[in-house]
A = this chain, B = another copy of it.
Amino acid sequence: MSLLVTGSIALDTVETPCGRVEDVLGGSAIYFALAAAQFGPVRVVGAVGEDFDPRLLQPLREKCIDLRGIEVRAGSRTFRWHGRYQGAMNEARTVRTELNVLAEHAAPLPGEFADSRFVFLANTHPALQREFASRLPRAELVVCDTMNLWIEQERPALERLLSQVHGLVLNEAEAQALTGCVHLVTAGREILRLGPHFVIIKKGEHGSLLVSRDGLALIPAYPTEKVVDPTGCGDSFAGAVMGYLASQGRWDLATLKAAMARGAAVASITLESFSIDALAGCRPAEVQARLTVLKELCRFD
């Protein structure tokens, strides 16, 4: 099934206890696409500025990711994010954000992508996400991400969006903020009342929880000890989930669980380097090896 992602393309400056990188490739659409490409073709819609060096996209071209939806916007600058992780690196502290091209208007949907069946709307203003989804009449699965800013400041728009998507992927703190429930299963059930058929709550090193109208699932995180930079882990997770679902052409409970395990495996690879380095270099055999470990880790008699 055709898979499309729309999201950010960023130049990131990131500091972690392991080091610092400056103006490296990042952004939700980038991490998502590289992760999804492990499982099948993926189309990217996003915008960069004139300052963006197109050579940065070479690793995506090598994975045959369809980049026809990347708009190079004249007179604009690329989105920049500077973040810092400390201690257990559970949360980034944003040092500086330059929205640049993201503060203008959304990237247009190329006509060739209008037949997309599986769609991921990475985090942006919920009204933009909803507007984008409305241009994809053949979509069979629309999943979105969100963030605390919209939960706090754009709740009506977010609720309209949620009433129209099939799935939501968000992290623990966001699920709690959205529902006011500290208990995550309860929070998940509250989110289903807003419209989605399923919600996946990302718990970082503690794995991910699926609350769906068809049941629950708990998939642990792959226990890598090489934690270099968590940037993009959540987007890689979502990319692998959606890539696997699209490769199977369905999103029933069993397929969602298998997809979340692939998300855990791929996200753990992203974690092991700055930027996209480990993710872009990752081979299917490595994902498969981690899946085998993950399955054995939580198997019991």
Chain A residues in the interface with B (C-beta under 8 A): 87-88, 182-186, 203, 205-207, 209, 216-220, 223, 225, 227, 254, 257-258, 260-261, 295, 297-301
Q: Which of A254, A260, A297 has the most CB of B within 10 A?
A: A297
| CB-defined contacts of A182 to chain B, threshold 8 Å | 87-88
- Do residues B209 and A207 form an inter-chain contact, with CB atoms below 8 A? no
Which of A203, A220, A260 lies at the interface centre, i.e. has the most chain B CB atoms within 10 A of its CB?
A220
Tell me how far the C-beta of A261 lies from the nearest C-beta in chain B, rounded to whole angstroms: 4
Min CB distance A226 to B, Å, is 10
By beta carbon, the residue of chain B nearest A203 is B206
Contact of A301 among B88, B207, B258 (CB under 8 A): B258
Give the residue of B203, B205, B300 whose beta carbon is less than 8 angstroms from that of A261: B300
8 Å CB contact of A297 from B87, B206, B217: B217
Q: Given A206-B207, A220-B218, A220-B220, are A225 and B301 neighbors across the interface (CB < 8 Å)?
A: no
**Contacts A206-B203, A206-B207 given; does A185 touch B223 at CB 8 Å:** yes
Q: How far is the CB of A201 from chain B (nearest CB, A)?
A: 11
A223's partner among B209, B254, B260, B300 (CB-CB below 8 A) is B209
State whether B298 touches A220 (Cβ < 8 A).
yes
The residue in A87, A183, A185, A261 that gathers the most chain B C-beta atoms within 10 A of its C-beta is: A183
